[in-house]
Amino acid sequence: MNLNLDCHSFFGEHLEHGTIEYFAKGYVEWLQHVHAASDKKSVYRGFAVRYRHTLENLNKLGFDSTHPNVNELLDSHIEQEWQHFLNGTYGLCTQSGLPEDIAAKELAILIINALTLEPVTSDLDKQKLKQAVDLLDSVSAQFAPHERERSSRNRLIDEVRAKYLV
């Protein structure tokens, strides 16, 4: 963040300019993984294994993608998510920025989008939708006030709760 401070006090005006770098909470843990890895490929493999493991655990809890080719598409999807991870995208929009939150967020979004394509009328679909929204809420970061209205949190949590889960 680039900051500009304009302060007026007894001694007059004071201007201060600075830069603050932001790192997601989980990046310290991730750096430990990076330092323990033998090469770049093993760092990626660690990301992919943790991502897949999270999806497997969520599947056991009843969170399931209805996409027919999910296993065929998963490798390329994880590679795309890896690039977003490296760019720091998920450090801003998830609680930790780590593969577990990323996988949970992406799966929850997939389920929410699939369930809201048509009007949600059955109790079972409402229950699945509530579980997916609650999952997304648990792993999503709060957005800054000026970003909230256009955020995925607003669109996929707040608006879905207001429309379908009241």
Give residue 144's pLDDT. 85
Confidence of residue 165 (pLDDT cuts 50, 70, 90): very high
Q: Which residues pair with 16 in a beta bridge?
A: 5
Most confident of 11-15, 17-21, 33-37, 42-46: 42-46
Give residue 9's pLDDT. 85
Q: And the tokens for 1?
A: 């963040």
Gap between the Cα atoms of 83 and 87, Å rounded: 6
Gap between the Cα atoms of 109 and 114, Å rounded: 8
Please give the backbone phi and psi of residue 11, each rounded to the nearest 5 degrees, phi first: -90, 0
Gap between the Cα atoms of 129 and 70, Å rounded: 19
User: By the 8 A CB rule, do 156 and 139 touch?
Assistant: no
Gap between the Cα atoms of 134 and 160, Å rounded: 11
pLDDT digits (tens, 9 = 90+) for 37-96: 889 999 999 999 999 999 999 999 999 765 555 566 788 899 999 999 998 888 888 999
Mean pLDDT, residues 158-166: 94
Cβ atoms within 10 A of the Cβ of 101, count? Answer: 23
Specify the pTM: 0.83
User: By the 8 A CB rule, do 81 and 106 touch?
Assistant: yes
Confidence of residue 130 (pLDDT cuts 50, 70, 90): very high
Give residue 11's pLDDT. 85
